[in-house]
A and B are shown apart, each in its own frame.
Chain A
Amino acid sequence: DAGVIQSPRHEVTEMGQEVTLRCKPISGHNSLFWYRQTMMRGLELLIYFNNNVPIDDSGMPEDRFSAKMPNASFSTLKIQPSEPRDSAVYFCASSRDKITDTQYFGPGTRLTVL
């Protein structure tokens, strides 16, 4: 099993540019989660999907952030326009659609907005 795959692993961009982060969950997993980690705020959930449908997006910081899951094997997190305060490590995780199933995290994308 390849695990959760995220791309790119590192992204450096300038303020105002559009950034798209990608995630491929583990095959057979029905839930997908996007987290953000910063020194100040720690690890926080942004949004999660179940069967490709967004269930809870209360953690999405503002309208500049959007997430999609067009099919069971792919999700994107987009920031437009990006700002320096968006600099963080973004993690994607997936799990099976069971009550107590564990979440498996990807390696993360380190985003730096200059």
Chain B
Amino acid sequence: DAKTTQPPSMDCAEGRAANLPCNHSTISGNEYVYWYRQIHSQGPQYIIHGLKNNETNEMASLIITEDRKSSTLILPHATLRDTAVYYCIVRASNTGTASKLTFGTGTRLQVTL
């Protein structure tokens, strides 16, 4: 699986959009970009994933560049409960079976009042 690079930490004011970048310059054509987050003392939580197109769900938006070498996770209106470590993961799509996630060090997002 391709490696990812994320800033170690970011701050965001409550109510503002949080934009978390991820670099995955060695991504292959069949690899998806996944985002998970881990709130303190809890298990990781799935946020969103995408292959080529931008994606949006109730939690966040995922913007993937045209060359797929980087992406940005957007939390449109961050709240204090969004304070967590955010992991960007590139994951190969295997044929027929689930594949493992390889977690890096992630970005520690601190949302402040």
Q: Which residue of A lies closest to B44 (CB)?
A: A105
| Cα distance A35–B100 in the bound complex, in angstroms | 10
CB <8 Å contact, B102 and A45: yes
In the complex, identify which listed stretch (A62-70, A71-79, A93-101) lies at the interface while the others stay far away: A93-101
| Cα distance A107–B44 in the bound complex, in angstroms | 9
B61 to nearest A CB, angstroms? 17
| Cα distance A68–B26 in the bound complex, in angstroms | 35
A-B contact pairs, 5 of them (CB 8 A): A43-B44, A48-B100, A56-B100, A103-B101, A107-B43
Residues of B within 8 A of A (CB): 32, 34, 38, 41-46, 49, 87, 91, 93-105
B74 to nearest A CB, angstroms? 19
A5 to nearest B CB, angstroms? 11
- The 10 lowest CB-CB distance pairs between A and B, nearest first, are A105-B43, A31-B98, A43-B103, A102-B46, A99-B93, A95-B98, A50-B97, A45-B100, A105-B44, A91-B43
Known A-B contacts A55-B97, A99-B95, A100-B49; the reply to A93 vs B102 at CB < 8 A is no
Q: Give every chain B residue within 8 A of A56 (Cβ-Cβ).
A: 100
Residues of A within 8 A of B (CB): 4, 30-31, 33, 35, 42-45, 48, 50, 55-56, 91, 93, 95-108
Q: Which residue of A lies closest to B93 (CB)?
A: A99
Q: Give every chain B residue within 8 A of A95 (Cβ-Cβ).
A: 98
Q: Give every chain B residue within 8 A of A103 (Cβ-Cβ).
A: 44, 46, 98, 101
CB <8 Å contact, A97 and B98: yes
Q: Give every chain B residue within 8 A of A106 (Cβ-Cβ).
A: 43
Q: Give every chain A residue within 8 A of B105 (Cβ-Cβ).
A: 42
Q: Which of A4, A95, A102, A108 has the most CB of B within 10 A?
A: A102
CB <8 Å contact, A31 and B49: no
| Cα distance A91–B98 in the bound complex, in angstroms | 17
Indicate which residue in B42, B94, B97, B100 contacts A33 across the interface (CB closer than 8 Å): B100
